[in-house]
C-alpha cells in the first residue's frame, strides 16, 4: 500500500541526513524504481525532499535529520495526507501509519492533516460494471474539501439536464472507480457524479460543514437509500457456477449467491439478482437466452416471455442480412 510506504519514506529521511534510492529500496523491500518514484512523489507534493547528485549524494530532507515532523509546514503536511488519503481508507496498516503521523505533527497542523485524510472514502462495491479513469476534477474538489471552500459546478444530471450549482463540498467517495462528491445544498445532502461535472470553480466563500459529519457514515446512509430504490425487484436464477462472476459483473452489488458451494446436479448455482422493476431485471437477463434459468418471481418470468415473443415476431423467418 503506497500510503503507509510514503510515510515510511519520510520517517527514513528524518532519521538520516541522506539516503540513496537503493538504500531506501533495501530497507522497504521494494524495487529501486519504486523507491525513486516515492521520493519524487513526496518532492512533487511539496514535502521538502531534494536529490543531491554525484558521489556521496542521495536524497535528503531539508533541515537535516529530525525525530519528529516539526519541520513540515501546514501545506506540506496536507500534501502528504492528500497523497496518502484515498488508499489509506482501505488498509488497516495504512490507517495506523496515518494515526502515528498525526501524533507526530505539530498541534497547529493536526486538524488540517486529519481533514485531508478523512476527505475521501473508498467503497470497493460497484453498482454495476467497473469504473473508469479518475476524473481530473477530483484533486481540485479534494483540496476544496480540506480548505473548506464552497464550489460552483456546471453539472449534467442523469437525465441530461445541465445546471449551475453552488454547493458545500463535504467529501469524496471512490466507488469502484466511479467518483462521487458528497455536498451540502439548500435542499440537504446531495451526491454528484464527478464525471458529470463539466465546469468547476472553487470560490472564496467558506463552506458549511456539519460539525459532527462522519463521511463514511453519511455515505452508508446514501448507499442504503439508493440500494432501496435500485433493488426493489429480486429474481432467483440458476446459472452455471463458472458464470457466476459474469452475472456479478452485470448486476454489481445487486448479486447475492445463496450458497456458493451448493450447486445442483447440473453444476448450477442459485443466485439472486436485483433491479428497480421486473422489466429492468428481464432486460438484463434476456441476453442470456437459455444460458440460465429464471426460477421467479412470476412478474420477471412474464416480462421475459413477453420480450421473447416480441423478438420472435420481429425476427422469426427473417434471412440474415435481409432488409426489413
**pLDDT > 70? residue 68:** no
Q: How far apart are CA 192 and CA 53, in angstroms?
A: 47
Mean pLDDT value of segment 74-97: 52
Q: How far apart are CA 182 and CA 171, in angstroms?
A: 5
C-alpha cell at 194: 464527478
Picking from 85-89, 139-143, 265-269, 273-277, which range would have the lowest pLDDT averaged per residue?
85-89
CATH, domain 2-118, list 1.20.140, 3.30.420, 1.10.10, 1.10.3470: 1.10.10
**Cβ–Cβ under 8 Å, residues 232 and 175:** no
Torsion, Cα 173 111 145 123, to 10 degrees, reads: 0
CA-closest candidate to residue 271, choices 279, 262, 284: 262
Band of the pLDDT at 62, cuts 50, 70, 90? low
Q: Domain extents for the chain?
A: 2-118, 123-228, 231-315
- Tell me, what's the pLDDT at 156? 93
Mean pLDDT value of segment 40-66: 68
**Cβ–Cβ under 8 Å, residues 264 and 238:** yes
pLDDT 10s digits, 280-320: 999 999 999 989 999 999 999 999 999 999 998 888 876 55
CATH, domain 231-315, list 3.30.70, 2.70.40, 1.10.287, 2.60.40: 3.30.70
Q: Which fold has domain 123-228?
A: SH3 type barrels. (2.30.30)
At 36, phi and psi to the nearest 5? Answer: -65, -40
Bridge-based pairing state of the strands 268-275 and 58-61: unpaired
C-alpha cell at 85: 488519503
Band of the pLDDT at 89, cuts 50, 70, 90? very low
pTM: 0.51
C-alpha cell at 286: 434476456
Residue 134's Cβ-count burial label (10 Å; 0-12, 13-18, 19+) is middle
- Tell me, what's the pLDDT at 49? 76
- Give percent helix, percent strand, percent coil of the chain, each to the nearest 5: 45, 25, 30
Region label for 177, one of left (φ > 0), alpha (ψ between -120 and 50) or beta (otherwise): left
pLDDT 10s digits, 141-151: 988 887 889 99
Q: How far apart are CA 120 and CA 177, in angstroms?
A: 13
First vs last C-alpha separation in the chain:
57
Amino acid at each position: 500500500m503506497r500510503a503507509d510506504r510514503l510515510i515510511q519514506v519520510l520517517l527514513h529521511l528524518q532519521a538520516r541526513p541522506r539516503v540513496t534510492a537503493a538504500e531506501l529500496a533495501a530497507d522497504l523491500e521494494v524495487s529501486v524504481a519504486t523507491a525513486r518514484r516515492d521520493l519524487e512523489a513526496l518532492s512533487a507534493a511539496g514535502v521538502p525532499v531534494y536529490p543531491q547528485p554525484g558521489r556521496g549524494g542521495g536524497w535528503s530532507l531539508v533541515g537535516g535529520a529530525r525525530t519528529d515532523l516539526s519541520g513540515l509546514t501546514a501545506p506540506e503536511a496536507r500534501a502528504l495526507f492528500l497523497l496518502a488519503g484515498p488508499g489509506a481508507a482501505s488498509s488497516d496498516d495504512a490507517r495506523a501509519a496515518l494515526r502515528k503521523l498525526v501524533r507526530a505533527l505539530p498541534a497547529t497542523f493536526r486538524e488540517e492533516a486529519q481533514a485531508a485524510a478523512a476527505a475521501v472514502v473508498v467503497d470497493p462495491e460497484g453498482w454495476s460494471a467497473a469504473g473508469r479513469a479518475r476524473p481530473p476534477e477530483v484533486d481540485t474538489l479534494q483540496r476544496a474539501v480540506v480548505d473548506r471552500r464552497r464550489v460552483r459546478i456546471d453539472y449534467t444530471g442523469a437525465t441530461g439536464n445541465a445546471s449551475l450549482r453552488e454547493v458545500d463540498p463535504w467529501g469524496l467517495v471512490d466507488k469502484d472507480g466511479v467518483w462521487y462528491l458528497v455536498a451540502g445544498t439548500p435542499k440537504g445532502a446531495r451526491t454528484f457524479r464527478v464525471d458529470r461535472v463539466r465546469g468547476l470553480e472553487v470560490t472564496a466563500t467558506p463552506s458549511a460543514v456539519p460539525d459532527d459529519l462522519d463521511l463514511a457514515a453519511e455515505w452508508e446512509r446514501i448507499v442504503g437509500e439508493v440500494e432501496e430504490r435500485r433493488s426493489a425487484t429480486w429474481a432467483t436464477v440458476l446459472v452455471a457456477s463458472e458464470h457466476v462472476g459474469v452475472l456479478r459483473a452485470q448486476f454489481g452489488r445487486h448479486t447475492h449467491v445463496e450458497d456458493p458451494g451448493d450447486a445442483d446436479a447440473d453444476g448450477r448455482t442459485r443466485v439472486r439478482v436485483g433491479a428497480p422493476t421486473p422489466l429492468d431485471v428481464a432486460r438484463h437477463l434476456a441476453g442470456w437466452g437459455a444460458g440460465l434459468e429464471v426460477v421467479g418471481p412470476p412478474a420477471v418470468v412474464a416480462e421475459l416471455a413477453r420480450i421473447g415473443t416480441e423478438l420472435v415476431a420481429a425476427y422469426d423467418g427473417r434471412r440474415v442480412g435481409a432488409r426489413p
